[in-house]
């Protein structure tokens, strides 16, 4: 039997430009909301003696007849060893024969598909004239967030805030050159989100990264950093008044600290985040009620994103599955 092909991070990046990734996410979330996906919640196994953990994310799509499995590891001591904090692979398996087809770098794929989901959410939820972006965080995920929103809106200007101002400055220089827009590093979250039309939060924070009072009317927020119950980026007051859309309801209930905290405090009900991104794609829910609505896309990252993005990167025929905009 022929061994699976392998794509490293550079090959994944070349094979999956952001515009293609956004289109792939439209397919992924539509499949999910149509009930065409088997998606167990993420399994975490801790290795406390080694300050590490492994995350397992399996998925099956009946639409494109494919299995996927992402294995990601996070080991806190790795940076001082000269190793990456996060390492990951994604495997695609033929859903008809059970044959492993492709193994690829999961870190690069995850960054692209996470940015692409926010790009899709921005396209569906942000005001059409949105042109100013605030990025909170300056890591790999923050970069694909800005790249994606620039695909779907005519962005004129961006500000970036990070606790590490040097990292924010480096982010600003590199992204300005890459995207051809002005990107300014600033020294506070309040300065970053001032008059911003779109805010992307990509941090590992355990407390809100901005003040609700600093938001402008009509702002759209992509919150992608919090993926565990104890992690929080978004103020409870913002969650309570926002039009909230999630990637996957069951996963949000298990993992989205931004939503779990106000839910456990009795400030919101589960129905407050009953709308999935796929519902908007299929026309089953309205994107925003009012021009001045604050909209919030809360993403924890789900395995169908990996499956469809990996199929597109591997140029498998099934990856060309198209979505009808409404039913």
Task: Write the CATH number for 217.
Answer: 3.40.50.720
Same domain, 165 and 276: yes
What percent of the chain has a predicted confidence (pLDDT) above 90? Answer: 90
**Phi and psi based region of residue 315 (left: phi greater than 0; alpha: psi -120 to 50; beta: remaining):** left
**pLDDT at 42 (0 to 100):** 87
Does residue 327 carry a pLDDT above 90?
Answer: no
Same domain, 222 and 76: no
Asked if residues 50 and 75 have their Cβ atoms less than 8 Å apart, the reply is yes
Same domain, 264 and 212: yes
**322: confidence class by pLDDT, cuts 50, 70, 90:** low
**pLDDT at 280 (0 to 100):** 96
Q: Enter the tokens of residue 24.
A: 């792939």
Pick the more confident residue, 290 or 77: 77
d(C-alpha 96, C-alpha 93), whole Å: 9
Neighbours of 264 (CB within 10 A): 10
Same domain, 64 and 213: no
The reply to whether the predicted model has a pTM over 0.85 is yes
What ranges in the chain are assigned the alpha helix state H? Answer: 9-15, 18-33, 78-81, 106-125, 140-152, 165-179, 189-193, 236-241, 249-255, 257-264, 277-281, 303-313
Same domain, 294 and 262: yes
**325: confidence class by pLDDT, cuts 50, 70, 90:** very low
Counted domains in the chain: 2
Does residue 313 carry a pLDDT above 50?
Answer: yes
Classified as helix, coil or strand, 202 is coil
Same domain, 173 and 309: no
Q: How far is CA 127 from CA 11, 53, 176, 263, 301, in A?
A: 34, 39, 23, 27, 24
Same domain, 178 and 290: yes
Cα–Cα nearest to 314, from 82, 16, 80, 42: 16
**pLDDT at 239 (0 to 100):** 98
Cα–Cα nearest to 29, from 220, 299, 314, 228: 299
Domain with 172 in it: 126-301
Same domain, 101 and 150: no
**What is the mean pLDDT of the segment spanning 174-185?**
97
Q: Is residue 314 part of a domain?
A: yes
Same domain, 54 and 190: no
Q: What is the DSSP string of 25-37?
A: HHHHHHHHHTT-E
Tokens 């506070």 correspond to what residue?
188
pLDDT, averaged across the chain: 94
Specify the CATH number for the domain of residue 42: 3.30.1780.10
**What is the mean pLDDT of the segment spanning 273-295?**
92
Same domain, 177 and 280: yes
Same domain, 145 and 286: yes
Same domain, 261 and 286: yes
């Amino acid at each position: 039997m022929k061994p699976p092909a392998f794509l490293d991070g550079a090959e994944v990046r070349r094979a999956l430009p952001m515009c293609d990734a956004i289109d792939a996410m439209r397919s992924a979330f539509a499949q999910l909301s149509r009930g065409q996906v088997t998606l167990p919640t993420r399994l975490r196994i801790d290795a406390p003696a080694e300050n590490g953990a492994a995350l397992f994310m399996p998925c099956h799509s009946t639409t494109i007849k494919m299995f996927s499995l992402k294995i990601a590891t996070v080991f806190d001591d790795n940076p001082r060893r000269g190793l990456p904090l996060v390492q990951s692979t994604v495997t695609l398996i033929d859903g008809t024969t059970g044959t492993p087809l492709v193994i690829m770098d999961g870190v690069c794929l995850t960054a692209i598909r996470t940015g692409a989901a926010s790009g899709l959410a921005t396209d569906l939820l942000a005001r059409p004239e949105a042109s100013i972006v605030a990025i909170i965080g300056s890591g790999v995920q923050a970069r694909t967030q800005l790249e994606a929103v620039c695909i779907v809106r005519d962005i004129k200007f961006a500000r970036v805030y990070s606790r590490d101002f040097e990292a924010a400055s480096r982010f600003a220089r590199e992204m300005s050159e890459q995207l051809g827009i002005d990107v300014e590093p600033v020294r506070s979250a309040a300065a970053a989100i001032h008059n911003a039309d779109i805010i992307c939060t990509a941090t590992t924070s355990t407390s809100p990264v901005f003040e609700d009072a600093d938001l402008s009317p009509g702002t759209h927020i992509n919150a992608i950093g919090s993926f565990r119950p104890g992690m929080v980026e978004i103020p409870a007051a913002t969650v309570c008044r926002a039009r909230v859309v999630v990637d996957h309801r069951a996963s949000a209930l298990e993992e989205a600290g931004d939503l779990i905290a106000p839910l456990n405090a009795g400030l919101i009900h589960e129905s407050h985040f009953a709308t999935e991104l796929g519902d908007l794609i299929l026309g089953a829910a309205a994107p925003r009620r009012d021009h001045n609505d604050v909209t919030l896309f809360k993403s924890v990252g789900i395995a169908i994103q990996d499956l469809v993005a990996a199929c597109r990167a591997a140029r498998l025929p099934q990856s060309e599955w198209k979505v009808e905009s409404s039913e």
